[in-house]
Structure 1
């Protein structure tokens, strides 16, 4: 308890000093300084992050994929209607987002959490990710929330840190906030919507972790992608791992037009790159990807 309060007091003092000596363009880093340091390459991509001088995130470690096919497991209620065999194929890599880890029997090769509210509300599920043998993609803010509660030596997954681009703006880790460059060669722009061809240069979010996951899957090199639980409707219903009493709120229903246009951008790019995407949710509101009968892939 003493250690907890001393840690909070130290952070408060650090924030005050930071506010006095650092410009407003870097104010988003007040929660990190001076506990963290970062190494970047010549293109300003994060390579390594250190917490109290200990390496906690290494983007340089190669991330080989086992197969060219994968399944992105989201958390819509429709996933409960799938035959369990679909979630245990040996010829697919499984990539989870947010609460998908509640499927105890799925062995996820990669995982994505970028929502600090999810980390705060469902740390029980975050700990399951940390205890797994996966590649875990997250943001600096989520990473910081994790390291406030878990010792580095108790983390078993491999952490990779990405910076998200929201409304054309990125709060660079331990650097100034900046607007993204539309002329960046590794950004695909379609009707004003961006898609990153290299997630270490920044990942566009458009209010949904699934969009960030698509950019990660592209960077990893998958050529055939199946979508499970990507419903984007029935927002009053709990996610598959929730009940009505512990249901987290969502704002997705207020941003659906933007979300659907973002998925249209994915569809345009993936068609150009000969990447196939199949939606296994028959009731999904997402129309950008071909819907197929999930039973045909058992």
Structure 2
């Protein structure tokens, strides 16, 4: 697939280059290690953070990075943000917690950070890798003025219209498994997000594809509760919580997608485990365990 290898952005009159994710980049290789992914479900509050858990390679999504304020994780190998709304709703959390960990973001998130927290890009650009949804690829770059009056320029990418998974060439691409027979709309999973990730309605699904693409030996999911999405995330309060769109997509998209992911990755020798007691009966293709 013809994907750009970098994005250039000017901040404070300095051109900064952000690389796109490449699974063949040496430091992206997790070399068969067991990787933990921490989502933001309320069940995270019940996890026993023992040394064995804290010392394993860990990937965080959105507000779960706030766990670093409470626990001494020794191997933070990834932090994933795919939705620009998180930047707007949890900017203070990002500013107080992020400190140069490997960061994986979409184009819309990059633009939001450039608007609300440009210092992060200026200071930690070497740690950032761009990722994208396969049905919205990063195409040939073009230089455009930013719509923000912050004296910035983006070498931005053309944004093609979103296309349906089943109707495009990547439905037969060797790095994707697309299924459209058992669900109301096509679902899929990526074997290498260098060519794009498949969306399912939750950033945790993106993180799982990232872990596999980086050659994790097994993937352990924490805090993917799904059926209690109306409750505040573990780092929020009842009076201060961002809106969630999980509830509508859970049964039609998220659960079928995770079940597909579990089957496909198992076929490729990577077992996926779900540690959430809340969703243990939902993801039938993923091994459930409550051992933390």
Q: Which 10-residue stretch deviates more, 172-181 or 219-228?
A: 172-181
Alpha-carbon distance change, 275 to 242 in structure 1, aligned in 2, over 3 angstroms? same
| Distance in 2 between residues matched to 1:205 and 1:56, nearest whole Å | 22
Alpha-carbon distance change, 135 to 58 in structure 1, aligned in 2, over 3 angstroms? same
2:149 aligned residue: none
2:93 aligned residue: 125
Per-residue deviation, 1:142: 0.3
Which structure 2 residues correspond to residues 36-55 of structure 1 after superposition, within 5 A?
43-52=1-10, 53-55=15-17
2:103 aligned residue: 136
Deviation track 1:45-82 (CA, whole Å, cap 9, x = no partner) reads 33111112321335355313266101010111111111
Which structure 2 residues correspond to residues 1-298 of structure 1 after superposition, within 5 A?
43-52=1-10, 53-59=15-21, 61-62=25-26, 63-65=28-30, 68-85=33-50, 88-90=53-55, 92-103=56-67, 104=69, 105=71, 106-107=73-74, 108-128=76-96, 130-132=98-100, 134-148=101-115, 149-151=117-119, 152-155=121-124, 158-165=127-134, 169-170=135-136, 172=138, 174-177=157-160, 179=163, 180-181=168-169, 182-191=171-180, 192-257=186-251, 258-284=253-279, 286-288=282-284, 289-295=286-292
Alpha-carbon distance change, 96 to 266 in structure 1, aligned in 2, over 3 angstroms? same
Which structure has the larger Rg? 1
Per-residue deviation, 1:161: 0.5
Matched position secondary structure for 1:227? strand
Contact in 2 for aligned 1:162/1:199 (Cα 8 Å):
yes
| Distance in 2 between residues matched to 1:153 and 1:96, nearest whole Å | 22
Greater relative contact order (Cα 8 A, min sep 6): structure 1 or 2? 2
Q: Would you say how many aligned residue pairs link Structure 1 and Structure 2?
A: 248
| TM-score, normalised relative to structure 2 | 0.78
Cα RMSD of the aligned pairs, angstroms, is 2.2
Per-residue deviation, 1:112: 0.6
Stretches of 4+ moved more than 4 A in 1? none
Per-residue deviation, 1:293: 2.7
Deviation track 1:138-195 (CA, whole Å, cap 9, x = no partner) reads 1011011112222333227611101114xxx416451251534212221112343221
Alpha-carbon distance change, 128 to 196 in structure 1, aligned in 2, over 3 angstroms? farther
| Distance in 1 between residues matched to 2:95 and 2:2, nearest whole Å | 30
Per-residue deviation, 1:130: 4.1
| Structure 1: segments with no counterpart, 5+ residues | 1-42
Matched position secondary structure for 2:261? helix
